[in-house]
Amino acid sequence: MRVFVDTSALYAILDRDDANHSRAKAELKDLLDADAVLFTTNYALVETFALAQRRLGIEALRLFTEALLPMFEVYWVSVAEHGNALASVLTANRRELSFVDCVSFQVMRDLELRAAFAFDAHFSEQGFELRP
């Protein structure tokens, strides 16, 4: 099984006060127990790093990079994917739909990934299976 991991899941794993923390930890354990290949993008990581550093501090960022990051295969977004995602977000003309989400959708399509470990309804709107 191959699963894309969104910022919403990454951050929920880190932040004990996040409403989805318990569900995120349980889902991560289930995915690891199932030997799932977990993908994320460098864009989702930048977004997660910024949130963790600002909201939780440097130690949380250090913990993430040392303990959690090695579990994920990081996909580096191409220039073409960046451009396609930017065109998508501009065409959608929706303030609440983020550029990083559009990059994630583009990468998921390019890698033929159907499932997303995320707490963001935009993934299901785009036709992807949400986990949990």
pLDDT tens digits, 114-125:
999 999 999 999
Q: Is 91 helix (H, G, I), strand (E, B) or coil?
A: helix
For 5, 27, 66, 68, 99, the CA distances from 83, given in Å and listed in that order, are: 21, 32, 31, 29, 10
User: Hey, which residues does 115 pair with through a beta bridge?
Assistant: 3, 129
Mean pLDDT of 5-18: 98
Structure pTM? Answer: 0.95
Q: Give the per-residue pLDDT at 13.
A: 97
Per-residue pLDDT tens for 79-88?
Answer: 999 999 999 9
Q: Looking at domain 2-131, what is its CATH homologous superfamily? A: 5'-nuclease (3.40.50.1010)
Per-domain residue ranges for the chain?
A: 2-131
Residue 61, pLDDT score: 96
Looking at 1-132, list the stretches that DSSP marks H as alpha helix, in order from N- to C-terminal side.
7-14, 21-33, 42-55, 58-63, 79-92, 99-110, 122-125
